[in-house]
Chain A
């Protein structure tokens, strides 16, 4: 196997006395789909926030595509190729769908202040291209004829789709999805699972997702990592994880293990 795309070494985050993430070593191989699961409050989202630079780790290192990104600001992570969605949808609610996607392209566009004022041919061309690509992305994510719709007016499902479209607009190598199917009905969830698989085959993306729905996790993941109280308690293929005693214990309590 080639060098992993993302690697963390003893990544740790403390909030005051609380240890949210406890020395987690973690790898995401290039081209894989990896799931991060764990009970509520296990530190999954905190872990995600560190992987995107939103939180600065207390200790440990994050290496992405061979480059140490620890302590860099969030936009550097995006620039290097980590795109993300948010658990509680964080669209730019008063911007149109198209504008949301265009903001996602920020690091991939070059127009500078003075050029934008003069609107040089290069800027004009770039802006035109960006709009064309943004429309394609919206279409790709299933938002048909919603370009000019204001973010807040979109249906819940469409808002989720727009979050993905916006993340894809950053042209990521690694896409982080934070509970993307939360609030979706079974059919939407099944569609979304297929969509994630398509992202890998059609766009060559590596995907890391936090998920509660085990059908999604077991359906698409190559590997599953389990966090509990900030610690990594298990790692392996979906079938291995399903049988892992510590995992069952974490989810259902010790009694469940003894009973079986």
Chain B
């Protein structure tokens, strides 16, 4: 079936080229760069036509298309500068530039920019609050990628780290522990409020480290297990953490209020650089005082966090430790026999993954100004895992894409698609009334993700943007046998 789909796609492709007067032989004779350019141009034109036909046309779609063409068409990978291959940085830098510029394009004074084109079916491009979520989840998905993608350990309880990070922010940047009165660089705190109020930047680091420690504590007893067993135990830990959060308002019956129970901890201090640094470096003293433009600051900060995560991922992937992770994923026995300490190496993967989960959780808690136990259900673990699988396990760009796409669907995409479906086929639909009661598409969210994952697993198990190695593993398999009686 997979082959049949690709055959029909290529048939359509040749039909299009034929209409343009290019038969197969002539096409093949063209230089590769030209073919690339034509191919990309055709796709962009199709995209523009779709926007024009099914979305809301705005002239700003044209410069957008030009930027995409400029990124995709030239073969930057061969570019060198003074003997160094700088070409491979061109496209990432371009993507980053688009991301940085996006807030100016997408919003003005907090409202959606009316000059923005709207896509067919999906509707408007993502809003700033969605972009913040996308960045935070990109960070967490990249964190999970250390565990699942690099080391090949299935972790179904990643939400535990997210929760841990959030509550770290709740404990050290709010009035949760009202008997304490520690103030260290926090901004936006009403005078007279007690509790721990550390600067959010410090809290991010503390949350990362504390979560990494929790990761090690969870990891030490569980990482001896393999495959399915490990997955089940991590699943358990992923359930324990939110339970503690939900019932932690009187820890062990002592009356000690750790998590404020179902009410959650709120408000949590916003990020900011304080008056002195803010004044001297022209950085916002307090993100919330930026008013309608505060989401921009939140987004750019999240972007910096994502960049740090990408940098770490790339560096570790190509290091001694990264090789050891892949070796364990491929064959534990051989890895151990080649001198890779299994427990220690796996624990590092776990701790690194947990670190970024914690930082992401703390930042998101600060953005949402609260840590609430009902955010940390099992479905978040699966959600983040889906991001990794959809994009491509072990590939940084794949995971980034998976995270952004799924988080976008979660925040906006599905309701937009739902609105489009209802508008066309729902009650009083403009095309044809197929169903007579408004369809609540976002309610079927996890069903839809399930379908996406099943389809991906059937047709492209290595993910949309796979790492070369992972693709080979999925198609050829690995021989991974248990390490008999030594898991030590």
Contacts and interface: CB of A to CB of B under 8 A. Distances in A.
A74 interface: yes
Interface string A48-65: 010011111000000000
Contact of A92 (B327, B336, B343, B485): B327
B473 interface: yes
Contact of A52 (B312, B337, B342, B472): B337
Contacts of A169: 338
A95 B469 contact: yes
B462 to A, nearest CB: 11
A54 B339 contact: no
Interface string A227-256: 000000000000000000000000000000
B341 interface: yes
B333 A54 contact: yes
B452 interface: no
A91 B334 contact: yes
A75 B333 contact: no
A93 B478 CA distance: 7
A123 B330 CA distance: 25
Given A92-B326, A93-B478, A152-B472, A106 B339 contact: yes
A95 B327 contact: yes
Contact of B478 (A94, A102, A106): A94
Nearest to A91: B334
A111 interface: yes
A90 interface: yes
Given A113-B321, A117-B312, A56 B485 contact: yes
A168 B341 CA distance: 18
B344 to A, nearest CB: 9
Contacts of B327: 92, 95, 103, 106
A68 to B, nearest CB: 17
Contacts of A52: 337
Interface string B212-249: 00000000000000000000000000000000000000
B315 interface: yes
A54 B316 contact: no
Contact of A73 (B331, B342, B348, B478): B342
Interface stretch (A2-10, A78-86, A189-197, A218-226): A78-86
Interface range, A side: 35 or more
B479 interface: yes
Contacts of A103: 323-324, 327, 335, 338, 340
A117 B315 contact: yes
B84 interface: no
Contact of A113 (B331, B334, B348, B488): B348
Contacts of A116: 315-316, 319-322
Contacts of B130: none
B352 interface: yes
Nearest to B335: A103
A139 B324 CA distance: 23
A92 B331 contact: yes
B336 A113 contact: no
B323 A99 contact: yes
Interface centre among A75, A79, A109 (most CB of B within 10 A): A75
Contacts of A119: 315
A166 interface: yes
B484 interface: yes
A92 B330 contact: yes
Nearest to B483: A54
Contacts of A106: 320, 323-324, 327, 338-340
A150 interface: yes
B42 to A, nearest CB: 34
Contact of A54 (B315, B341, B486): B486
Interface in A12-26: none
A180 interface: no
A167 B340 CA distance: 13
Interface range, B side: 35 or more
Contacts of A75: 336, 339-342
Interface in A22-70: 49, 52-56
Contacts of A84: 337
Contacts of A117: 311-312, 315-316, 319
A52 B311 CA distance: 37
Interface string A93-121: 11100010011101101010100111100
Nearest to A85: B337
A193 to B, nearest CB: 24
A181 interface: no
A73 B486 contact: yes
A123 B469 CA distance: 25
A7 B479 CA distance: 32
Contact of B334 (A49, A73, A90, A127): A90
A159 interface: no
A206 interface: no
A55 B486 CA distance: 6
Contacts of B337: 52, 54, 74, 78, 84, 86, 90
Contacts of A53: 336, 486
A162 to B, nearest CB: 12
A150 B471 CA distance: 13
B351 to A, nearest CB: 9
Contacts of B311: 117
Contacts of A55: 484-486
B356 to A, nearest CB: 12
A113 B486 contact: no
A247 to B, nearest CB: 30
A107 B342 CA distance: 12
Contacts of A152: 472, 476
A86 B334 contact: yes
A166 B315 CA distance: 24
A11 B338 CA distance: 23
A254 to B, nearest CB: 34
A54 B486 CA distance: 6
A79 B83 CA distance: 39
B336 A73 contact: yes
Nearest to A99: B323
Which 5 residue pairs spanning A and B have beta carbons closest together? A78-B339, A116-B319, A107-B339, A74-B336, A90-B334
16 contacts: A91-B331, A91-B334, A92-B326, A94-B473, A94-B476, A95-B327, A102-B320, A103-B327, A106-B338, A106-B340, A111-B320, A117-B315, A117-B316, A117-B319, A127-B319, A150-B472
Given A116-B315, A117-B315, 10 more contacts: A53-B486, A54-B336, A54-B337, A56-B486, A74-B339, A93-B476, A103-B323, A103-B335, A104-B338, A106-B339
